[in-house]
Amino acid sequence: MNIESALIPVDELATAVDGFLAASPAARAWDVETAFDWSRADANRLTDGQRSAVRFVTLIEDHLPGYFDVYHRYFPVDDSVSRAAFLHNRELYHFTVRWALEEDTHARALARYQEASGMTERGTLRAELAVEGQKPFDLPYQHPVQFFAYALVQEKATQMYYQQLRDVVDDPVLATMLARLSRDEARHFSFMADVVARYLRAQGDATVQPIRDVIATFRMPLADTMRGYWRWALKIADVASYDHTEAYEHLVKVIDRAVDTRSDRLDELVRFIEECRSLA
């Protein structure tokens, strides 16, 4: 399928983008340099497992250029697409640049914490992040709803993990930072959920197989490129509950809210998502 042929109307997307930006006013923004008292950051208050978790999520967040490039490639804002697709993609770009700024802030904050708390030195960390940062990232999807369904799960899973890690760490600086990251991820999730709901209402059963394929093949970012990813993911799950399939129930809630009466195909999709969650 050509992605361009399956886009929702531009006004639908623009409304979702406007809603996200309205929920993200400049007055609510925060910056790495002034949001925290970095002189009080102390990694000695963390367990070895908690330190490992901070290192893990820093690597994930720092791969932001790869994630952002996916949207540039699949939703281009140039003359390679029709005028209608350009209008759609230009509206989406308003979201992606704000989203990228916030995610890059997360990456910088986590890196700054590692440096300020004594976990590592800046040059050492920069070199470590480059190992994963140079690796390619792709979401080779064929239907536009898949990019938003994938991000819906990924953002919700990340939000939940930050909340749970915040609850167990003993360094107030890190706990405060994780709370800010979690709130940002919650807004990102809300945008993705809004867009997925609009696809469900506009296209109905045509979205079933694409969303099913996302869940059937879902991997968190870097899962297929980072050496030792799964072993490391299991270790951080012991620190604070980490299971991306917990986010699946939120996808089911989006489907329930978007569709008044589910078709047989949507019912089958919900059963499949719930089975994937239970198997996990």
C-alpha atoms less than 13 angstroms from C-alpha of 185 in its C-beta half-sphere: 23
Range of the domain at 137: 19-279
CATH number at residue 234: 1.10.620.20
pLDDT of residue 85: 97
pLDDT of residue 1: 66
CA nearest neighbour of 198 among 149, 154, 157: 149
Q: What is the pLDDT of residues 97-140, one digit of tens each?
A: 999 999 999 999 999 999 999 999 999 999 999 999 999 999 99
Give the lowest-confidence range in 11-15, 182-186, 261-265: 261-265
**Whole-model pTM?**
0.95
Structural domain contains residue 6? no
CA nearest neighbour of 168 among 45, 266, 3: 45
Alpha helices, DSSP H only, in the chain? 10-22, 48-62, 64-74, 83-117, 122-133, 144-166, 172-203, 208-216, 229-239, 248-258, 264-279
Share of the chain above pLDDT 70, in %: 99
Structural domain contains residue 3? no
Tally of structural domains, the chain = 1
Structural domain contains residue 7? no
Examine the pLDDT at 26 and tell me if it is beyond 90: no
What is the residue whose two structure tokens read 């923004």?
A: 29
Examine the pLDDT at 86 and tell me if it is beyond 60: yes
Name the residue with higher pLDDT: 236 or 165: 165
pLDDT of residue 277: 83
pLDDT of residue 120: 97
pLDDT of residue 204: 95
Cβ neighbours around 115 below 10 Å, total: 17
Q: How confident is the model at residue 278 (pLDDT cuts 50, 70, 90)?
A: confident
Q: Mean pLDDT in the chain? A: 94
Structural domain contains residue 198? yes
pLDDT of residue 237: 86
Structural domain contains residue 14? no
Structural domain contains residue 28? yes
Structural domain contains residue 10? no
Structural domain contains residue 13? no
Examine the pLDDT at 279 and tell me if it is beyond 90: no
Examine the pLDDT at 50 and tell me if it is beyond 60: yes
